[in-house]
Amino acid sequence: MYTANYSFVIVICFIKVIFCDSCDNISVPVYVNRISEKIEGCINKDSFPNKIVNSIDIDCESASIQILPANFVADLNRLNELLIQGCSLKTIQPGAFFNLPKITDMDFSVNELRNIQAGVFSLIPAIKYMNLSRNFIVFVEDDAFSHLPNLEDLDLSFNRLKTLSKSWFTNTLRIEEFYVNNNEISAIPENMFAGWQQIRLINFNYNQLVNISDKVFSGTIESITFHHNLLTSINIEAFSEDISIDQFDISNNYISNLSPMLFDRITVKNFQMYGNPMECTCLYKIEQTLQKKGVNVEVPKLSNSDRNCQNVDVSVPMCGVSLKNEFCNATADDNGVISGVTKYLRELGFRDLRDWYEKCI
């Protein structure tokens, strides 16, 4: 009997610890439709009896809110946007948002979120724009972003993600802009974007990508950028046969050999590849192939610091540098036009790569 009672108490406490965060002790200044107010407790239709609420922006300069408990924002049928930026927010519990049929914008950037659990964003079907940038997100549960049929922009940049998974996005297929730059992602899984018919922008800059799986990219895409990763080659099979990309940026990786066949498969308008340790012959061949195909090979914008050999690691092409002390000499096409890398170096005031290397490295 005694034992039974004891475990009963344990169970109650356990439930309390896990589930009993409530709005009771929340008291924060907030802009409601851009007008400053103070809220006590949860935010719902009883908080503002005589008002149509479109916008809620918690004023985090004067208060911090660490946990959003279940039903934190509920039953506001005209609410469009919820902004909780820079609040030291650590946890959003599943069910924190309930019955918000019109909400399109949510911004939780610059907080301390570590995990995104399934069920946090499951009751906001109208959501279009979600910003979770600049948190500490390391873990995302399966289905965390599932069943969001209108989600267009998702910003997960500046977090600590190491992986990505298609199972975070079941039935969320209308994403147009996808930002995961400045994380620690090392691979893009096969078919990651399959079925994302509207995707226009994919930003993987500043990650730790070492390889891209097969069948990742397809369709017509405005921008795919991977600069500052650890890629040593580009897997042709990552791209579907009919892909077309307006801006394709693979600069500042460790790519030493890029198959010109890549450009038989993909149609690219503007291409950036500087800052890779290309062998000169390979680089020259690629430039020629690209010129014939009408691809614009972009070189970094000039700045005075480049002329003084600063920023060389990020902006000067690396042709030959790591390979057998072999340097490109100036190469010109049939009309005597000096192209790509050499042209860029000439504009910086260097004779050729050897000259740049001797002065700057």
Ligand X SMILES: *[C@@H]1O[C@H](CO)[C@@H](O)[C@H](O)[C@H]1NC(C)=O
Which residues in this chain contact ligand X in the complex, by CB under 6 A?
Answer: 21, 25-26, 66-67, 69, 85, 109-110, 131, 133-134, 153, 155, 179, 211, 213-214, 235, 329
Q: Where are the alpha helices (DSSP H) in the chain?
A: 2-19, 262-265, 280-292, 304-307, 312-315, 340-348, 353-360
Q: How far is the CB of 329 from ligand X (least distance, A)?
A: 4
CB nearer ligand X, residue 109 or residue 339? 109
Q: How far is the CB of 119 from ligand X (least distance, A)?
A: 17
Q: How far is the CB of 187 from ligand X (least distance, A)?
A: 8
**Checking DSSP bridges between strand 27-32 and strand 55-58, what pairing results, if any?**
antiparallel
Distance of alpha carbon 50 from its chain centroid, rounded?
40
Name the nearest CA neighbour of 278 among 255, 251, 306, 261: 255
Asked if 266 and 289 touch (Cβ cutoff 8 Å), the reply is no
Q: How far apart are CA 310 and CA 16, in angstroms?
A: 58
Q: How far is the CB of 301 from ligand X (least distance, A)?
A: 21
Residue 135, C-beta contacts closer than 8 angstroms, at least 6 positions apart: 108, 109, 110, 111, 112, 113, 114, 158, 159
CB nearer ligand X, residue 28 or residue 295? 28
CB nearer ligand X, residue 29 or residue 51? 29
Q: How far is the CB of 139 from ligand X (least distance, A)?
A: 20
Count of other CB atoms within 10 angstroms of residue 19: 11
